[in-house]
Amino acid sequence: MMDATIHPVPGVRLGVAAAGIRYQGRDDLVLMTLPADATVGAVFTRNAFCAAPVTVAREHLAQAAPRGLLINAGNANAGTGAPGRQAADRCCELAAAACGCEQEQILPFSTGVIGEDLPTAPFAAAMPALVADLAEDNWPRAARAIMTTDTVAKLASRRLDIDGVAVIVTGMSKGSGMIHPDMATMLAFVATDVAISADLLQSCLQAAVADSFNAITVDGDTSTNDACVLMASGASGVTIESADSTAGQALFAAVADVCAELARAIVDDGEGATKRVTVAVSGAASATEARQVADTVALSPLVKTALFAADPNWGRILAAVGRAGVEELDVERVRIWLDQVLIVSGGGRDPGYTEAAGQAVMDQHAFSIRIDLGRGEASSRLLTCDLSYDYIKINAEYRS
């Protein structure tokens, strides 16, 4: 039964199947189909060892209007050389034959273990079931099928009114570990039923990703397979011609909202995570400097383990700010808060700070670390989580 809060996107169908690529007894393969006049935007990993499906998807997106997306879990088809490229091409060939379109109109995506050859026989065997299962309301099943170490399916949906017409924006993502900003840091697929040019859709996606998927980190590792795709079916009859129009602003806001919700869900489901923490840096001389400090604090193993222990060890935060590489940092002007509790000022512990006040903040599931550098007007915000015993266990046992 479709979750009432997850709205199907007219014109976008999803088929789900259990192909047995790596996992047994669960769905692991998804086919998404689009109308002939649909438009698509995408962003991909910047990892130099990008997976074969990333290379193929980039090439196909530049060559033709996509009609289908093929997504598998359990095998990343990364670090697989020429055989990996051949496997990705073969999967596109199979999907194109099933969908009645050209091979270049299929975008492939894979997630799972790196460095293992991707078998294509399971794709061929599962293709009839995928096509037979195509339906607009299959988002929840598809979101579960693309999971790897995720513990929950990640879905978000919005219904908005544009010129008296109901417009849908619905998305799903997967990601739990190997998460750090460098494009999209996982797999995410978002769809809407407006009509919009590919260039404008790409702008919408890039704006949404900047403040969502590119503003989260779990462990500092970027994947070989990261991709985020935004699709527009045009089925609503509503046309978006400008980002500055009332309709354009409404769509951009809804897409950004869906991406932000999916990004929060990834951090909440970070491998072994028990805390969700916003690192907010202000008063920086530049946006680059602000992000540099936010990254250093959010990625510090000592800070992240203190978060796990709910230990208000503010010295670790102070030390991370100090080693972030900010030139000529005046430590006397730096202030640091846990939520609204001022912990550092004047180069050291704030005179009004108490351990009890810090502890009350750290005991919460979600809170903020706020840092004012006292140098300018630039700021940055990053969402992160703690580092727990379970993170080590999950990744140590990943291939067993």
Question: Span 312-340, mean pLDDT?
Answer: 96
Using the predicted structure, report yes or no on whether residue 4 has a pLDDT greater than 90. no
Quickly tell me which residue has 């404008």 as its tokens.
200
Supply the pLDDT for residue 11: 98
Whether 174 and 241 map to the same domain: the answer is yes
In a domain, 1, yes or no: no
Question: Residue 214 has what DSSP assignment?
Answer: G
Per-residue pLDDT tens digits for 130-189? 999 999 999 999 999 999 888 899 999 999 999 999 999 999 999 876 667 665 447 999
In a domain, 51, yes or no: yes
Whether 96 and 234 map to the same domain: the answer is yes
Q: Total domain count for the chain? A: 2
Per-residue pLDDT tens digits for 180-221? 766 544 799 999 999 999 999 999 999 999 989 988 887 776
Cα–Cα distance list, 178 to 68, 118, 140, 184 (Å): 27, 20, 23, 11
Question: Span 229-243, mean pLDDT?
Answer: 97
In a domain, 3, yes or no: no
Active site residues per annotation: 185
In a domain, 182, yes or no: yes
Six-digit token string for 71: 């997504």
Output the domain CATH number for residue 376: 3.10.20.340
Domain boundary among 240, 268, 296: 268
Host domain of residue 184: 13-268
Report d(CA 304, CA 298) in Å as an integer.
7
Identify the three-state secondary structure at position 44: strand
Whether 22 and 106 map to the same domain: the answer is yes
In which element (H, E) is residue 82 found? helix 81-99
Whether 193 and 137 map to the same domain: the answer is yes
Whether 82 and 125 map to the same domain: the answer is yes
Domain boundary among 268, 303, 325: 268
In a domain, 41, yes or no: yes
In what order do the strands lie in the sheet containing 187-192? Answer: 39-44, 227-232, 187-192, 165-174, 154-162
Whether 247 and 298 map to the same domain: the answer is no
- Comparing CA positions, the residue from 180, 393, 163, 141 lying closest to residue 267 is 180
In a domain, 297, yes or no: yes
Whether 125 and 160 map to the same domain: the answer is yes
Percentage of the chain with pLDDT > 70?
Answer: 96
Whether 357 and 326 map to the same domain: the answer is yes
Whether 261 and 291 map to the same domain: the answer is no
Whether 260 and 291 map to the same domain: the answer is no
Quickly tell me which residue has 């008296």 as its tokens.
164
Quickly tell me which residue has 């055989």 as its tokens.
83
In a domain, 35, yes or no: yes
- The pTM for the full model equals 0.89
Mean pLDDT score across all residues of the chain: 93
In a domain, 197, yes or no: yes
Report d(CA 88, CA 79) in Å as an integer.
13
53 or 397, which is more confident = 53
Give every CB contact of residue 294 below 8 A, 6+ residues apart in sequence. Answer: 279, 280, 281, 371, 380, 381, 382
Whether 187 and 248 map to the same domain: the answer is yes
Whether 90 and 29 map to the same domain: the answer is yes
Q: How confident is the model at residue 47 (pLDDT cuts 50, 70, 90)?
A: confident
Amino acid occupying residue 380:
S
Instruction: Return the ∠ at Cα 332 (arms to 331 and 335), rounded to 5°.
Output: 80
Question: Residue 124 has what DSSP assignment?
Answer: H
Domain boundary among 247, 268, 289: 268
Output the domain CATH number for residue 103: 3.60.70.12
